[in-house]
Amino acid sequence: MWQTLFDRMLSRFIREGELETEYPDGTRRRYGPGGGLSLRIRLHDEALVRALCRDPEMALGEGYMDGRLTIEGDRLHDLMTFLLRNRQLGGLPRWARTADAARYAVRAFVQRNTPRSARANVAHHYDLSNDLYRLFLDDDMQYSCAYFARPDMSLDEAQAAKKAHIAAKLLIEPDMRVLDIGCGWGGMAITLARDYGARVTGVTLSENQLALGRERVAAAGLSDRIDLRLMDYRKLDGPFDRIVSVGMFEHVGLPQYATYFTKVRDLLTPDGVALIHTIGRSTPPHTTAGWIQKYIFPGGYVPSLSEATRAVERADLWLTDLEVWRLHYARTMAAWRDRFEARLDQVRAAYDERFIRMWRYYLIACQATFEVDRQGVFQMQLAKRADAVPLTRDYIGPAEARTSIAAQ
């Protein structure tokens, strides 16, 4: 029964390219008109076929992790690209979308992210060994989208360019009080204090990030200018001249958007400026993929622009600048994936094959999503006053250039 149902589903779903599927009983079927990508997969047991019918996205990830779904040549990136392109063509039957509908119905509960659950969600991902992240991130351990201002940039150069771009938008002057919400391993705080003379308070919910971040601050000789804390942003007191948050808003959760932006407003000085850098979706509101929710980012959510800006408006903040980055995160993910694969021997010393396949699936699925789906990065510059920043964007380029010259 399940094999017949899945056969019908693929017959309708595959409208571009070709997919050859080998079923557990040895039956082989080809789907799609051909042309474009051509792939071969094998489904190793009936339970996987049943799961693919009930919740295709979850079952695909779990099947790959467990080795119960194998791809000829292990062409996972090609398979993800192939499936995303076909999904955009609208061939998935309604009954196969019930899992997405169920997640959408309960998303407010899943994303409630109280101070207690937010701490647990952060620990699930960010309190893995710092050594794992060192293997695939740049030297500054920036775990967010890099900015490839030139096509020939290395990952390290593009991450430095990201920080310079953000700093330019923040218009930082020496001794300004800067808050870094979700400070990670301290890279942004160190850059703003060392290169711009800021006094930075950084908050994180990850004990591992905090410990390493404090070590890095001390090693840089900046302990008198940077204060990193294990603290929820909702418990902070201000005021701050500038607020920066890079890659943290995805963990806030839709029910907390009003709280988040109201807190940003309350923490800013009257002429203060904030820069919120977040993954964003150029589609109507949706939900977090079930596999990502379960294995990678519990409580996480990628907002549509309409959801984020509605909360900004209600917090009585000016959206003084909005920039959308397209494909930069795809390149970032590709670089992380290459570095991860190049250091598999070191990964295997600490993790089993299931973890490796899970992490590979995470990196590749996200890379393909940024390449094919309507997902990118939003940078929202916010202020209380309309004249808190210049009235044109002409100041950004010269400020970045000054930083590049000073770094040489």
Side by side, which strands form the sheet with 177-181? 226-230, 199-204, 177-181, 240-246, 268-281, 375-383, 318-325
CATH numbers and ranges of domains, the chain: 2-105 (3.30.1050), 115-407 (3.40.50.150)
CB 231, CB 283: distance < 8 Å: no
pLDDT for 289:
86
Contact 101, 94 (CB under 8 A): no
Contacts 24+ apart (CB under 8 A), 198-202: 198/172, 198/174, 198/225, 198/242, 199/175, 199/225, 199/226, 200/225, 200/226, 200/227, 201/177, 201/226, 201/227, 201/228, 201/229, 201/236, 201/240, 202/226, 202/227, 202/228, 202/229
**Span 244-262, mean pLDDT?**
95
- Examine the residue annotation and report whether 366 is marked as an active-site residue of this protein: yes
List b or e across 187-226, with b for residues whose CB sees 16 or more CB atoms inside 10 angstroms.
bbbbbbbbebebbbbbbbbbebbbebbbebbeebebeebb
Q: What is the pTM of this model?
A: 0.93
Tell me the pLDDT tens digit for each residue of 347-405: 999 999 999 999 999 999 999 999 999 999 999 999 999 999 999 999 999 988 876 54
Provide the pLDDT confidence category of residue 91 given band limits of 50, 70 and 90. low
Q: Which of 85-94, 98-107, 284-293, 326-335 has the highest mean pLDDT?
A: 326-335
Q: What is the pLDDT at residue 287?
A: 84
pLDDT band of residue 275 (cuts 50, 70, 90) is very high
